[in-house]
Chain A
Amino acid sequence: MYRWLLCWRYLRTRWIALASVVSVTLGVATLIIVNSVMDGFSAEMQQKMHGILSDIVIEGHSAAGIPNPQWYESEIRKTLGDDVVGVTTVVHVPAMGSFQFRGQTITRQINIIGIDTKTYADVSDFRRFLSHPENQRLLSFDLREDGYGAGREDFPASGWVHRKRWGAIQKALEQERLLREEYEAKLKKENAIPMPALGGAGADSTDPAALANAAPSIGAQAMAGPSIGASAGVAGAGQLFDAEKEQHAGIVLGIGICSVRGTKPDGSIGDFFYVRPGDDIQVGLLSASSPPRILSEKFTIVDVYESKMSEYDSTFAFVPIEKLQQMRGMIDPSTGMKSVSSIQIKLRDNADLDAARDLLQAQFPSDMMIQVSTWKDLQGPLLAAVKMETTILNILLFLIIAVAGFGILATFFMIVVEKTRDIGVLKSLGAPSSGVATIFLGYGLLLGAVGAGVGTVGGLLFVYYINEIADLLEVMTGGEVFDPRIYYFERIPTIVDPTSIVMVMCGAILIAVMASVLPAFRAARLHPVEALRYE
């Protein structure tokens, strides 16, 4: 009984010992904060990755793709049974997108993904990242009138509202250009003096519209499809395609493709849009034929999506699968059979993805030029990197606590020296050596518990208010603590894992107890007479 009474009293009266567990406290708190934030990050990341990727992807490596996907689908359903929630087919191909902005051409390297609007939603949460509320319910590749960017103040006017205005301007410019050409031709005819500089200079410096019109003609050379650019030099071609009333095939762009994220003059983070729903984008891609040819076609942006995974947002563009199959020549002209590049499968929640993958792998061996992977396999390196970071941070921080253990060891030795006489008294009053040792072990236990407890509470509070703390730090230092441009999260995500907290606490307490073993042993071995004589 005296042991616990004394530990308790030592704990309450020796403040210096509490100072020695401050490092334990800090270590525990840091571990909890780091783990929570890392867990939050990786969970958020996984959620986002998974949001666009389906559970299992069967990818064909041949440029021509996987023929007869219906057979595969029935095989998949046979193999996996009730676990399958949805199956969809996808065509994807690397591509180059280019669009006009203020007379300049901007090109972006993108991944064109042809999706089946009816079934794609079964396998992916893709829709909820779209900016138009209607599209979030049911994706349509037809441009909508208005209402894009719901809930976003900085979203520019888009949709038909924008396209009509833009189309009218294009038409007017086109007309003016035609008038000028007519006039120039007349001039040439009349005085036959060559004036090469006039038209060129006009186009370069004074007439941005001419520039805007000139660039799309690159595309016009490569393709036969109707476009504004295609009308160059052909009088009255504007009537073929009326941008005010018509649209090309729809395309959904990642927000990173059509905008840049930056700090506005007032300091807030915002997107600056080069193009927006309603604008056109020129897409160049490879055909499925052999040898591959370069195809180029105009698409009308019908929506943008923001999954907040910068990798996806800056490369993925979605188009209707039929359009892509048709463009690339993936439809067998004789049979009408359509090929796809991959088949995506969604399984029911909690299904064992790895087991399903292994089953499918057995079903479709690699010599079919087919690869079966789970979404985690596809993002493996990134997930593994995050996991390794977490592990290494955990080890490092636990070393901090271990270092704190040596602090406790030193302090405890001091306390044992300071308490030598008391130990002598206890022994002379009949306390056994084991009892004396227990006092110091118990003291270490209590100190560890206090340190770990305070650290846990502090760490949890920090995690709970982490965004407020980040804001406060930003105000105090003026610097950016958490930059949403980098992470695509508005707030720092955190997940508190009770198991890891318990483990961290136990580890810290264990270290404190282990650090007190040596001093306790020394205290137990003190000779009572010498201890009493000690002054």
Chain B
Amino acid sequence: MSKTSPRVQPRRSDSIGTDFSKDASLFQPHANGEFSTMKMDSPSAVSISRTHGKTQGGISPDSVIMSAKNLTKTYRTGKVQVPVLKGVDFVAERNRLTAIIGQSGSGKSTLLHLLGTLDQPDGGEVYFDGRRIDNLPRRQRDQFRNQTLGMIFQFYHLLPELTTLENVMVPSLIGHGMFKYFSVRRKLRDRAAELLDWVGLGHRLKHRPNELSGGEMQRTAIARALMAEPRILLADEPTGNLDPETGHGILELLKKLNQQQQMTIIMVTHDEAIARSADCCIRLQSGKVQQVHQQAA
């Protein structure tokens, strides 16, 4: 990643390149609210080998972090009903990079939205860490998205009025009330700055999104997704709007996150090459799972 952002400070880039344990605190999950009970048991327990290729049927229930059963979703445009998902089963394992691939209109984004509780399925269930989340009350879903989930979008979706640093801090601003925020704002600011540093934008803290390149915006979005110390990252075509080289940089960053920080990532893409490099690849077609491919690392 120091390739894509050459102005990153040497000390930082060194640490990124060599030893992540230094920055481990950045990614250490901590107890936060409703979902604290769902936290990973311990780092050692998490080190389930992802080196063994497995078929979907052979996944041990312990290693499943997110799953969906028989999801259906139909959109209505006027009188026409468009079925988008027609009974999709989905399993994502802990600490792995799962790719969802399919042509446009295959329902992959809808599936991601359902997994991320942005939308509610017409039928079927979504589980996170063994707990059903699709039918939670609205408040709890909001909290779940805020504290347990990290979201990355194709069009970055940074808030244009805020600086890079503030954009990264948004999840924490949402999660904390005014008084709580004022008591921890220095810590939050430091953490946001560190995250930006880590994604290679340490020199861009005070810039507005419109002063950033696409790659830089996506890096900011990744930093934002990591801000609330999520347990899982959902990425919706994170490279879809970038040129191949920049997209590659972003992908490297996500992979590094996955490999070095043991971050579970579910990524929607339509790029076969990207899908192939994932640990597990689920192919959607016309709202149905066409193929599940487990990759041997």
Q: State the A residues within 8 Å of B (CB).
A: 1-2, 4-6, 9-10, 12-13, 421-422, 424-433, 435, 527-529, 532
In contact, A432 and B118 (Cβ under 8 angstroms):
no
Assess whether B113 is in contact with A429, with CB atoms less than 8 Å apart. no
Query: How many Å lie between the Cα of A529 and that of B119 in the bound state?
Result: 7
Of B46-54, B157-165, B281-289, the one contacting chain A is B157-165
Question: B174 near A431 (CB under 8 angstroms)?
Answer: yes
On whether the beta carbons of A5 and B143 are closer than 8 Å, the reply is no
Contacts of B139 in A (CB 8 A): 432
Residues in A neighbouring B138, C-beta threshold 8 A: 432-433
The listed residue with most B CB atoms (<10 A of its CB), out of A2, A9, A435, is: A2
In the complex, chain B residues whose CB is within 8 Å of the CB of A6: 159, 161-162
Distance of A427 Cα from B143 Cα, bound (Å): 10
In the bound assembly, the distance between CA atoms of A4 and B151 in angstroms comes to: 23
Q: Which one of A428, A435, A527, A532 contacts B145 once the chains associate, using CB atoms below 8 Å?
A: A428
**Complex interface: stretch among B176-184, B240-248, B252-260:** B176-184
B181 with A430: CB separation less than 8 A: no
Are the C-beta atoms of A429 and B178 separated by less than 8 Å? Answer: no
Interface string of B196-216 (1 = CB under 8 A from A): 000000000000000000000
Closest chain B residue to A533, Cβ basis: B109
Q: Which B residues, 141 to 167, have Cβ-Cβ distances below 8 Å to chain A? A: 142-147, 149, 151, 153, 157-162, 166
Which residue of A is nearest B141, CB measured?
A430
Assess whether A1 is in contact with B177, with CB atoms less than 8 Å apart. yes
Residue numbers in B under 8 Å from A532 (CB-CB): 118, 153, 157
A430 and B119 in contact, given A13-B161, A425-B157, A532-B157 (Cβ under 8 angstroms):
no
With A1-B181, A529-B119, A532-B153 as contacts: A430 and B161 at CB distance below 8 Å: no
B87 within 8 A of A: no
B170 with A2: CB separation less than 8 A = yes
Report which of B119, B142, B176, B224 forms a contact with A1, defined as CB distance below 8 A: B176
Q: Are B157 and A421 in contact (CB under 8 A)?
A: yes
A-B contact pairs, 20 of them (CB 8 A): A1-B181, A2-B170, A2-B173, A5-B173, A6-B159, A9-B162, A12-B161, A425-B157, A427-B118, A428-B153, A429-B146, A430-B175, A431-B142, A431-B174, A432-B138, A432-B142, A435-B174, A529-B119, A532-B118, A532-B157
B107 within 8 A of partner (CB) = no
A5:B153 contact, CB within 8 angstroms: no
Task: Knowing A1-B177, A1-B178, A532-B153 are in contact, say whether A429-B118 is a contact too (CB < 8 A).
Answer: no
What distance in Å separates the Cβ of A268 from its nearest Cβ neighbour in chain B?
58
Chain B residues contacting A430 (CB-CB under 8 Å) are: 142-147, 149, 171, 174-175
Q: Is the interface of A mostly helix, strand, loop or mixed?
A: helix
Q: How large is the interface on B (under 10, 10 to 19, 20 to 34, 35 or more residues)?
A: 20 to 34
In the complex, which residues of chain B have a beta carbon less than 8 angstroms from the beta carbon of A428?
116, 118, 145, 151, 153, 157
Q: Give the Cβ gap from A436 to chain B, nearest Cβ, in Å.
A: 10
With a cutoff of 8 Å between Cβ atoms, the chain A residues found around residue B178 in the complex are 1, 4
Chain A residues near B157: list those with CB within 8 A. Answer: 421-422, 424-425, 428, 532
In the bound complex, do residue A426 and residue B170 qualify as a contact, i.e. CB atoms below 8 Å apart? yes
Report the separation of the CA atoms of residues A428 and B113 in the bound assembly, to the nearest whole angstrom: 9
Shortest A367–chain B CB gap in Å is: 73
A-B pairs, top 8 by smallest CB distance, nearest first, are A430-B146, A9-B161, A2-B173, A430-B145, A1-B181, A425-B157, A1-B173, A432-B142
Nearest to B176 among chain A residues (CB) is: A1
- Complex contacts, B173 vs chain A, CB 8 Å: 1-2, 5
Task: For the complex formed, measure the closest distance between the CB of A435 and the CB atoms of chain B, giving whole angstroms.
Answer: 7
Q: Is the CB of A429 within 8 A of B166?
A: no
Contact B119 A429 (CB under 8 A): no
Contact present for A529 and B118 (CB under 8 Å): yes
- Chain B residues 219-241 with CB under 8 Å of chain A are 224
Please, which residues of chain B bring their CB within 8 A of the CB of A9?
A: 161-162
Closest to B225 in A: A429
Residues of A within 8 A of B170 (CB): 2, 426, 429
Q: Measured between alpha carbons, how far is A429 from B147 in the docked complex, in Å?
A: 9
- Most chain-A Cβ atoms within 10 A of its Cβ — which of B118, B139, B158, B166? B118
